[in-house]
Amino acid sequence: MTNLHGNRKIPGWRDIDAEEFRAYVGLLVLSGVYRSKHESTKSLWSEKWGRSIFRATMSQKRFQNISRALRFDDKLSRPQRHVDKMAPFRKVWNMWTHRLEMLFSPDRDLCVDEQLVAFKGRCSFRQYMPKKPAKYGIKIWAACDVKTSYAWRLQVYTGKAAPDRVEVNQGMRVVLDMTEGLQGHVVTCDNFFTSCALADELLKRKMALVGTIRQNKPELPPHLLQAKKREIFSSIFAFTNTHTLVSYIPRRGKNVLLLSTKHRRPDVSKEGKRKPVIIEDYNKCKGGVDNLDKVVGTYSCRRRTNYWPLALFHNVLDVSLYNAYVLWTSIESSWQKRKGHRRRVFIEEVGEMLVNPHIAKRGHLPRSSAAAAVVRFVTTAAAATGHSPIIKCKSRRQCELCKEKRRRVVNTCCKCEKYTCKDHSVTICNNCPI
């Protein structure tokens, strides 16, 4: 579809093959691991301040053309699928989410929450969520394993099914969709999702529920809703045959209500604030999706775009990289165990292994000496060993000779090993004495 759109819209388009597409994805991955998601493409390819591996892989113009042409469906056939708002990205999304569930079996504790993919362009189902850092974007319902934050099941919220009809019990419908096919798990969610009807339905499916619950639910006993004149750190419990409710006062005038079908005893911690065990278990499990947002944002490959399927594609890459890291460290638990930045090393190696086959087949060397050296290294190593090597890229430091403009560079002096920019260095050949 990318080649189809490129031939239609971009003059002189050269078709992209699978290897070049992997190299393009590898550059996106490397831009994320180098914390360059807000850095311009011109800066990434700059001979002075950029990184040589970008110039060694492909030209800046080719990268920009692929980004412009990247498509996931045929636009001319889209009117036949006008009912589906996700039509431009639906096929890839379904293939990807199906793969996520096949590769991992979640632990006992599961967290269901919402995720926001930042996007401010035109999109018919863009949401405004004032409590999220990005505020505007595409909302995704997510079910994550609490222990590892592995994204097990994801579902894009495309808005109301009918404009003139409000969806009733949306939270209950989402949790049931996110946990379909599971048994024996404990689902943790916030007060948007929690209700007694949801707890009953999960019990029928042999799953337990732990979550905060809103005070406007009609099934709550009146004495649990009273917070006035109650002692701070006090708890009141209510029980049925299958449900446990607790009301906890963390501070004056604040009443926290939780519903659980996992706990059957009024246990309270003896330490400090005397929190009920239900609240302690909820606090341990509630952050599965929030932690996923945090780790994905650390090395995000997201680039600025006005095309919402591309924003979703960047999020797919970010989540896939983290899920792949969880799977790899689960299988190879001793891999790079002594390093505190194992995930950065993993992502960097993934990005380099994606770009190296394309680098090794370049027809001519880049103009930049540093990029040409990378191409020679990859080509020589691939010819000698039969596989692409891992490129050890230098970290960028500030030029130690610049007094006013503190430029960040990767080149060092061959004698004193100080970091120097192009303005404070000279180039000589091997025949001339240093």
Q: Which two tokens mark 276?
A: 């009920």
What is the pLDDT confidence band of residue 395, given thresholds at 50, 70 and 90?
Answer: low
Eight-state DSSP code of residue 232: T
Backbone phi, psi, residue 187, to 5°: -95, 130
What is the pLDDT confidence band of residue 323, given thresholds at 50, 70 and 90?
Answer: very high
Cα→Cα distances 61→13, 25, 58, 304, Å: 11, 16, 8, 16
Output the pTM of the full model: 0.83
Question: Average per-residue pLDDT in the chain?
Answer: 88
The 10s digit of each residue's pLDDT in 120-178 is 999 999 999 998 888 999 999 999 999 999 999 999 999 887 776 777 889 999 999 99
**Is 60 exceeded by the pLDDT of residue 393?**
no
Cα angle value 287/293/295 (rounded, 5°): 100
H helices of 205-307, in order, are 222-225, 277-285, 288-298
First to last CA, the chain: 53
What is the C-alpha to C-alpha distance for residues 270 and 390, in angstroms, rounded to an integer? Answer: 53
**Is 90 exceeded by the pLDDT of residue 194?**
yes
Helix, strand, coil % in the chain, rounded to nearest 5: 40, 15, 45
For residue 356, the Cα-to-chain-centroid distance in whole angstroms is: 24
Residues found in the chain: 434
The 10s digit of each residue's pLDDT in 143-158 is 999 999 999 999 999 9
Can you give the pLDDT at residue 381? Answer: 79
- Count of alpha carbons within 13 angstroms of residue 256, beta-carbon side: 19
